[in-house]
Amino acid sequence: MKQSLPNLAVLGATGVVGREILKILEENKVEYNSIKFLASSRSAGSKIDFKGKSYTVVEAKPEEFDGVNICLASAGGETSKHFAPISAEKGCVFIDNSSAFRMDENVPLVIAGVNDEDLKTHKGIISNPNCSTSQLMLPLKALNDKYKIKRLIVSTYQAVSGAGLKAINELTDNIKTNLVGMPYEPKAFKYEIAFNVIPQIDVFCENGYTKEEMKVTNETRKILHLGQDVKISCSAVRVPVYIGHSEAVSVEFVEKVDAKEARELLKNTWGIEVRDDISTYTYPTPKDAAGKNPVYVGRIRNSIAFDSGLDFFCVADNLRIGAALNTVRLAQKVIEMGLY
């Protein structure tokens, strides 16, 4: 176990998730020796205020990883593919938000508090799961440990912030244009997102599912160490919400489940906040979850579609638990476990 505090780098510091990483680093007690902010040449030179100091964003180049112990990366798949191996070779642990290495069997895919042990197998790269998978892992881990998941069917209601700054601005522009009765030509999306829902996120795979949908299937299996006998499908849909992904979840279990017992179990699970009281119309919504850290679970009920199953509604800030928060938590785990 190394005793010295780590030198940190944040790659993609000026993007939507990068900014959120900075916010969370400011809130959290991550102790470090030094920190630097890397981005593409386009953003290099811009200023970042962090913990009361002003930093200049530096262009990401191989030599910038020299002496860095942990890199929190959120700069897209191509950038990660380029820099992760360079970073690893220089002894820096690259915590990656992109999908580039998630299904690589040599790269652990980890949600803090769910499968931390997998971090020990890292060879310089650690992957952060996709947002739509991430928020499901805390509740599903607790439920799987007790009831053993047999089948999982997820329908998502995903916020535009998952598609970046352009998409956030497009929602506003599209809404404003529609409100004055004008048509709008979408750019960030294939269809208008204002007052609409779009049943496609990411590109299509050969089996007719989108990559986003297959991420839920494949990443869930990898993180929870589920076998191929566990069946998982997803329908991923974009909705006109700025921040906060919601998911309607149906799970079938091997063991007999009871909603009341499951609710108590989830109430006692770290990282989850149960908001579930139908007598007071208490359930989570994305607007309430935005800017917050917990995974919110509500509408927990015994499934009437499965002999032993649950239906529930799961909401979280997609930029936090689905991206930046887990990245920071993974960095903390790497530091605590002395894995750098």
Please report how many Cα atoms fall inside a 13 Å half-sphere around the Cα of residue 116, on the Cβ side: 15
Cα–Cα dist 278/299, whole Å: 8
Supply the minimum distance, in Å, between the C-beta of residue 25 and a second copy: 27
Q: Where are the alpha helices (DSSP H) in 256-324?
A: 259-267, 286-289
Supply the minimum distance, in Å, between the C-beta of residue 234 and a second copy: 9
Instruction: Find where tokens 């912030």 sit.
Output: 161
Specify the residue, 5 or 278, whose C-beta has the smaller distance to a second copy: 278
Active-site pick, 71, 92, 131, 314: 131
Supply the minimum distance, in Å, between the C-beta of residue 139 and a second copy: 15
Active-site pick, 71, 122, 234, 245: 245
Cα–Cα dist 134/220, whole Å: 8
Specify the residue, 37 or 313, whose C-beta has the smaller distance to a second copy: 313
Supply the minimum distance, in Å, between the C-beta of residue 265 and a second copy: 16
122 is catalytic: no
CA dihedral sign, ordered 35, 61, 335, 134:
positive
Are 217 and 172 in contact, with CB atoms under 8 Å apart?
Answer: no
The DSSP result for 57-109, as a single string, is: -EE--GGGGTT-SEEEE-S-HHHHHHHHHHHHHTT-EEEE-SSTTTT-TTS-B
Q: Phi/psi at 238 (nearest 5 deg)?
A: -85, 135
Which residue in 156, 209, 126 sits closest to 318, CA to CA? Answer: 156
Cα–Cα dist 86/208, whole Å: 35
Instruction: Find where tokens 């990068």 sit.
Output: 18
Are 7 and 68 in contact, with CB atoms under 8 Å apart?
Answer: yes
Specify the residue, 110 or 216, whose C-beta has the smaller distance to a second copy: 216
Cα–Cα dist 63/235, whole Å: 42
Specify the residue, 235 or 293, whose C-beta has the smaller distance to a second copy: 235
Cα–Cα dist 221/26, whole Å: 33
Are 293 and 138 in contact, with CB atoms under 8 Å apart?
Answer: no
Supply the minimum distance, in Å, between the C-beta of residue 308 and a second copy: 12
State CA 306 to chain mean position distance: 29
Supply the minimum distance, in Å, between the C-beta of residue 281 and a second copy: 5
Specify the residue, 13 or 310, whose C-beta has the smaller distance to a second copy: 310
Supply the minimum distance, in Å, between the C-beta of residue 60 and a second copy: 33
Specify the residue, 278 or 337, whose C-beta has the smaller distance to a second copy: 278
131 is catalytic: yes
Binding region for a second copy (CB under 8 A) = 151-153, 155, 157, 171-172, 175-176, 179, 190-192, 195-200, 204, 207-209, 217, 231-233, 235, 237, 239-242, 244, 246, 248, 250, 259, 278, 281, 283-288, 298-306, 311, 313
Structure tokens at 8: 């940190």
Specify the residue, 96 or 192, whose C-beta has the smaller distance to a second copy: 192
Annotated catalytic residues are 131, 245
